[in-house]
Structure 1
Amino acid sequence: MSISSEPAATIGFDDFLKVDIRVGTIVEALPYPEARKPAIKLVIDFGGTIGLKKSSAQITKHYRPEDLPGRQVLAVVNFPPRQIGKFMSEVLTLGVPDADGEVVLLAPTLAVPNGGRLY
């Protein structure tokens, strides 16, 4: 994914509130060799009314599937599902690029309850 490093247009606070970013715990992570770009299929537990959601994440540079279960991550939970090859991704797992442009996952620095909303 290529995203400009230029700042985005200014938005109002009400626009920010439309993006529902929640914390969840990865409960399952599997290789996704069929993806066009190397990826890992995730199942993330957001607790409460959101529950378990699937995500395809291009995070293979820094993460191995076997090391991800139990790790908390942040994700956008109110985008429509997106077909990634034969896999339906239900949430957008968030990350930022390292110096080489590889994804580093966003996560809380302390354990927090699943489903907590970013504010």
Structure 2
Amino acid sequence: MKKTLIVISIVLLILLTACNSPSKVVGDYDTSQLTADFGDNEAYEIGANAKGMPIFKNHKKALQRVQIDYKKGFDAVEEKYAFKPISEENYKDYKTYAWQLETKDETVIQQGVMITKFLDIYENSFK
């Protein structure tokens, strides 16, 4: 009897954890509240997680797409700070430094800012 209760408790805990996953979209999000517009590409579709925070509906697809759309900015961050290519493990470093790029190339500066804004939303999938 005790073993059965323990097993049921563990299964319920796992199910509750999965249902409240920060990376799971549970509703719509009013994107007019955001300070950035990443365009109409489906990779950037945004929903709300269980905490009501904006998240990309497919954060892996969004991360792949942003590296294409803001390649100059990512290249500049990698070069300046000797970072490895962005990943789920090091995105916080990019978020911290991308907006701080100093260059005469206005496109790179703007892309650095957009990378940081993207990562503000991206990280909500892990909170």
TM-score, length-scaled by structure 1: 0.27
Structure number, greater radius of gyration: 2
- From the two aligned structures, give the one with the greater strand fraction: 1
- Structure number with the bigger relative contact order (C-alpha 8 A, sep ≥ 6) is 1
- From the two aligned structures, give the one with the greater helix fraction: 2
